[in-house]
Amino acid sequence: MTRKPNALIWLWLSAAVVALDQLSKWWAVHALSPALPHPVIPGVLNWTLTFNRGAAFSFLAGSAGWQRWFFVALALLISAVLVAWLARTPRRDWRTGMPLALIVGGAIGNLIDRLHAARVTDFIQVYFRQWSYPVFNLADSGITVGAVLLIVFGMFAGKPTGSVR
């Protein structure tokens, strides 16, 4: 039985997302003061150090602490499922491999924070006038970009050949 090359090679991208995420969070914690905006592009982008015990948009942040282990388990489960998906994906299918690897890298980046400090470090604040998007980090960006690419590539995937009209 010959094994076809799979898309696990894309885990290099997951490792790069984790490394960049953790390095950027280390920088943010050591260079920024909590909740104090540091303008990068005035009117659009600040570095603003915050900590989130919940998930996206501070979901469950005010809970009694059980959410930490819930999100740890969820990240482990999702990462395992996506790695299994990569193992079953042909290596040449970059439209699946790349987005899955970005999501895995993001999930593991935030998982490390939860295991180490029981909270996720965020520092990227995008805003315009009175509107401000919730502060996020590079791991969140990996998850979001990966999910969007997975949807977009899925929507515009080529039609199967030999299909009946």
Task: Please tell me the predicted confidence (pLDDT) of residue 24.
Answer: 98
Tell me, yes or no, whether 81 lies in a domain.
Answer: yes
Tell me, yes or no, whether 154 lies in a domain.
Answer: no
Q: Which of 83, 155, 75 is nearest to 115 (CA)?
A: 75
pLDDT by residue for the chain (165 residues), tens digit each?
667 899 999 999 999 999 999 999 999 999 999 999 999 999 999 999 999 977 665 656 656 567 788 889 999 999 999 999 999 999 999 999 999 999 999 999 999 999 999 999 999 999 999 999 999 999 999 999 999 999 999 998 765 555 444
Task: Please tell me the predicted confidence (pLDDT) of residue 64.
Answer: 55
CA distances from 160 to 98, 156, 157 (A): 21, 12, 9
Tell me, yes or no, whether 60 lies in a domain.
Answer: yes
Tell me, yes or no, whether 164 lies in a domain.
Answer: no
Is 140 assigned a catalytic role?
yes
Tell me, yes or no, whether 163 lies in a domain.
Answer: no
Task: Please tell me the predicted confidence (pLDDT) of residue 158.
Answer: 66
Structural domain count of the chain: 1
Tell me, yes or no, whether 47 lies in a domain.
Answer: yes
Is 122 assigned a catalytic role?
yes
Task: Please tell me the predicted confidence (pLDDT) of residue 31.
Answer: 98
Q: In this structure, are residues 128 and 135 in contact, taking their beta carbons and an 8 Å threshold?
A: no
Of the residues 21, 93, 113, 140, only one is catalytic, namely 140
Of the residues 21, 93, 113, 122, only one is catalytic, namely 122
Tell the residue number behind the tokens 């260079």, with chain if given.
Answer: 31
Domain enclosing residue 18, as ranges: 7-127
At residue 105, the 3 state secondary structure works out as helix
Tell me, yes or no, whether 76 lies in a domain.
Answer: yes
Q: What is the pTM of this model?
A: 0.88
Task: Please tell me the predicted confidence (pLDDT) of residue 111.
Answer: 97
